[in-house]
């Protein structure tokens, strides 16, 4: 039997491959590759899905964050409050625009930014809060928006793992000044390569980002400012527009499998199942358990044909890339603990009950054997 992957995209392609091929062929037949019809259509549909006035298709999730910060005029001398247990793409743009990342700790149960830590980290230079809706669960946006309002800060949502996740009634990417989405292939909504989007209610911000993604171009041959080539291409947009129709179903399937895992693992000693916050609708981009003997458990599962992941073994403040960069790290105790104990189990909509039962039984075997 082939191993059970952390994410198996082949199972998805087996179901909707023909539909995707037709959408790709349509773009190719029309040679409509750059900022074409498919991009405009997907932007309209994605904005409607998230519940914002605008969505701007861009080249990646990293580009989305970078363009938002640039369009907001965040740069040298400014500070951005965020977390260290995330993919490095959350802070690369902060550093690239010349601002200073300020890391605060996470809530030890939800693994998202702990709002109680934010206020103490605010200085006269703070411009923005950049929460990450990690693993498919929104950060506590009620508390974060309230702090931002009191201190006149903007909130930029890193929604790269949270397509369709809710905080109360609001969707990820619709609560702050802007949301950044990644459509990296393994995300809940994934392209056939790199792709991303910015969502916002702010018309001027959307227009600025549209210009920045396309070489600062205001009209043909006129470039108003130095931008970049960070467009979403039509082929990716065509793929995403087809897949968007399935996203709610896929997220429901992810929640179903998460529920099954939690049922089967709830009483296993030494294993902590994910905590869903009171206002959150979690979309389980990843199903992440906690285990003090994480590395041994991962090896045990690997030997039995189960692939897992670690998100993230090396927090950003310990990354070599950050060592020559000016940043502030507040107390990060919960972040450090999570880095040593979290383990991501196979999670994708096309899992079967046999898959989930096998993973859970193998974890139980690991715990009881010694």
Ligand X SMILES: *Cc1c(COP(=O)(O)O)cnc(C)c1O
Per CB under 6 A, which of residues 319..338 are in contact with ligand X? none
Per CB under 6 A, which of residues 190..219 are in contact with ligand X? 194, 196
Residue 87 touching ligand X (CB under 6 A)? yes
* Beta carbon nearer to ligand X, 60 or 174: 60
Give the CA-trace dihedral at 229, 230, 234, 235, to 10 degrees: 110
Residue 132 touching ligand X (CB under 6 A)? yes
Residue 298 touching ligand X (CB under 6 A)? no
Give the largest Cα separation in the chain, rounded: 70
Closest approach of ligand X to the CB of residue 59, in Å: 8
Alpha carbon distance 57, 256 (integer Å): 30
CB atoms within 10 A of CB 124: 5
* Beta carbon nearer to ligand X, 85 or 174: 85
Closest approach of ligand X to the CB of residue 62, in Å: 3
Determine the Cα angle at 316 with ends 312 and 319, to 5°.
100
Which residue in 82, 112, 182, 214 binds ligand X (CB under 6 A)? 182
Stretch that binds ligand X, among 4-12, 158-166, 287-295, 331-339 (CB under 6 A): 158-166
* Beta carbon nearer to ligand X, 183 or 366: 183
Alpha carbon distance 189, 49 (integer Å): 12
Closest approach of ligand X to the CB of residue 29, in Å: 28
Residue 101 touching ligand X (CB under 6 A)? no
Residue 261 touching ligand X (CB under 6 A)? no
Closest approach of ligand X to the CB of residue 92, in Å: 9
Which residue in 57, 61, 309, 346 binds ligand X (CB under 6 A)? 61
* Beta carbon nearer to ligand X, 90 or 174: 90
Q: For 151, what's the count of Cα atoms within 13 Å in the CB-facing half-sphere?
A: 22
**Chain centroid, CA 285 distance in Å:** 8
Closest C-alpha among 52, 37, 45 to residue 205: 52
Residue 236 touching ligand X (CB under 6 A)? no
Q: How many helices (H) and strands (E) does the chain have?
A: 11, 15
* Beta carbon nearer to ligand X, 173 or 355: 173
Alpha carbon distance 227, 211 (integer Å): 7
* Beta carbon nearer to ligand X, 196 or 274: 196
In DSSP notation, 220-276 reads TTEE-S---B-BPBHHHHHHHHHHHTTHHHHHHHHHHHHHHHHHHHTT-TT-BPPPP
Residue 356 touching ligand X (CB under 6 A)? no
Q: Which residues bind ligand X (CB under 6 A)?
A: 60-62, 86-87, 89-90, 132, 158, 160-161, 182, 184, 194, 196
């Amino acid at each position: 039997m082939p191993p059970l992957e952390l994410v198996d995209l082949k199972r998805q392609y087996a179901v909707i491959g023909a539909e995707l091929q037709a959408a790709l062929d349509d773009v190719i037949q029309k040679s409509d590759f750059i900022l074409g019809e498919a991009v405009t259509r997907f932007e309209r549909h994605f904005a409607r899905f998230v519940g914002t006035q605008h969505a701007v298709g861009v080249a990646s999730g990293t580009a989305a964050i970078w363009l938002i910060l640039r369009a907001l005029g965040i740069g040298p001398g400014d500070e951005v409050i965020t977390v260290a247990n995330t993919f490095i793409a959350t802070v690369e743009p902060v550093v690239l625009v010349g601002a200073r990342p300020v890391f605060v700790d996470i809530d030890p149960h939800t693994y998202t930014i702990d709002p109680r830590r934010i206020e103490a980290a605010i200085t006269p230079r703070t411009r923005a809060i950049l929460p990450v809706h990690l693993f498919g669960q929104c950060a506590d946006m009620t508390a974060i928006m309230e702090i931002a309002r009191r201190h006149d800060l903007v909130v930029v949502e890193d929604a790269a793992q949270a397509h369709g996740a809710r905080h109360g009634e609001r969707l990820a990417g619709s609560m702050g000044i802007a949301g950044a989405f990644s459509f990296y292939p393994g995300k809940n909504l994934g392209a056939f390569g790199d792709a991303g989007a910015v969502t916002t209610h702010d018309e001027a911000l959307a227009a600025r980002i549209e210009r920045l993604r396309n070489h600062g171009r205001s009209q043909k041959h006129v470039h108003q400012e130095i931008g970049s080539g960070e467009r979403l291409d039509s082929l990716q947009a065509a793929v995403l527009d087809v897949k968007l129709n399935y996203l709610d179903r896929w997220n429901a399937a992810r929640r179903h499998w998460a529920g099954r895992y939690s049922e089967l693992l709830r009483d296993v000693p030494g294993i902590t199942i994910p905590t869903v916050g009171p206002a959150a609708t979690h979309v389980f981009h990843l199903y992440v358990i906690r285990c003090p003997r994480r590395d041994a458990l991962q090896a045990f599962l690997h030997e039995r044909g189960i692939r897992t992941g670690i998100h993230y073994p090396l927090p950003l403040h310990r990354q070599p890339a950050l060592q020559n960069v000016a940043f502030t790290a507040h107390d990060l105790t919960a972040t450090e603990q999570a880095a040593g104990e979290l383990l991501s189990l196979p999670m994708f909509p096309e899992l079967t009950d046999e898959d989930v039962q096998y993973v859970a039984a193998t974890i139980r075997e690991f715990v009881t054997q010694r």
